Chain A
Amino acid sequence: MLRKAMGLLIIAALFGAWLMGCRPAAPGPITLTIIMEQVPDTDVIRKMLPDFERENPGIKVVIDAMPYDAMRDKILASFMAPKATYDVIIVDNPWMDEFVAGNFLEPLDERIKAIPDYDFEDFVRPVREIGVVGGKIYGIPFYNYAVGLIVRQDLFNDPAYQDAYQKRYMKSLAPPTTLEDYVRIAQFFKEQSGGKIYGVAMQPQRGYKIFEEWKNWLYAAGGDLLDEQGHVIIDRPEAVRALELYITMYKTAAPPNSLNWGFDEALRSMAAGEAAMMMSYNWMLPTLNNPQGPAGALAGKFALYEVPGGKAVLGAWHWAIPRNAPNKDASWRFISWITSKRMEKQRVILGGAPVRVSAMKDPEVWQKGFGQSYYETVLKILEDAEPLARGPKAEEIIQVVGTELNAAVAGEKTAEQALKDAAAQVRRILGR
């Protein structure tokens, strides 16, 4: 009898629990999950989140930050799922066309039009155009990583170096504007310092890194990856010249055994006072000039210029909304908030890499940020800059060309052979 009663009691309890579970959920806050890279620009966004959550009660933002290598497959897995893991993603420029071609991203034109004072045209044109595919906007610029020339200004201003250079070359010593000068000045610093200072810190690492550095040389030599009609022209004589000069530079003026260096090794070398110049991301300058940063006592002695030849390689991250994201309105609320003129100014003052012209021309930003000349140089760099490669096959093209370039610097092939092989592979990739 007792057992029967107990049994009934348990059944009743279970039924009650089930009924409780059936209650409609209260309209709780929406949580936006954003995939981001573990970099300083993400920390800047983190600092701004409390403001967003205060201005938008009901939306919580969670940042899932990870190393670069983990991002691409996570994003793709999220695209494949019935409901996206990530409400907002950031897209590296080589992935943009590929993701649009796969029909993974939400077009944003209508949403942009709905905000009257958004001013999309205010984003620097080359950066803005990365997010525009087939006439539609899929990505809103987040931050740029265009390449500039960073030099040790104190060495260039040193009268001893100036006199020696004047005597030897009948020219005054100034940051280089042509490839020949770049190589000559780098060699000069190494010889003149008796090998204590290398002329240049390079990033000849296989893949993205070497292509990112060398393509500036290619532009300066008058070459490109593709011509206007989309033909592969990376095996032309000007490209061969650019690569031969690059190899000469590596062999005569860069630190030995730096064939595997990427930008962090090059940065370390500059910060240690080991090298006089490097081509790297423009936002490396504030890092180097930060007295609490890696350069220590050398902070303040670095300056940023346009790369020799003027035209630079452009890298940029864009915000985007996956098509399968569940709360697109909330996702857009966040993106439009963080990329608004008001918040862009805030972000740049906090140390984020700028993408809006208005922020780079704002005296308040100059004063609270890194100074007028820095932002003016960055704007100049951005206005004449182009991504490494475009199209749905960009990622693979970059890897393939970057492998051939690295093989040429390693001495496994001649510059001409490496570029011929690179061109053949790019043609194959584009033809597939």
Chain B
Amino acid sequence: MRTHIKELRARYNLTQEDLAKKVGVRRETILFIEKGDYNPSLQLAHAIAKALQTTIDELFIFDEEEHLRP
């Protein structure tokens, strides 16, 4: 899974720590979501999308092949 979090953070001049504080998670969690190493819960994805004034659909890019793999 890829995300547009980094680009949107830059647009709103937010650091990973700022965004983490806004959504109530640790900074590393934002880092791993950005890198695609951690899939957030729907609740957290919604909170991040809201903080970055966008939608979940626009924020996260799902690789369907990756999801179909067992």
User: Real complex partners, A and B?
Assistant: no
Chain A contacts to B: CB under 8 angstroms: none
Chain B contacts to A: CB under 8 angstroms: none
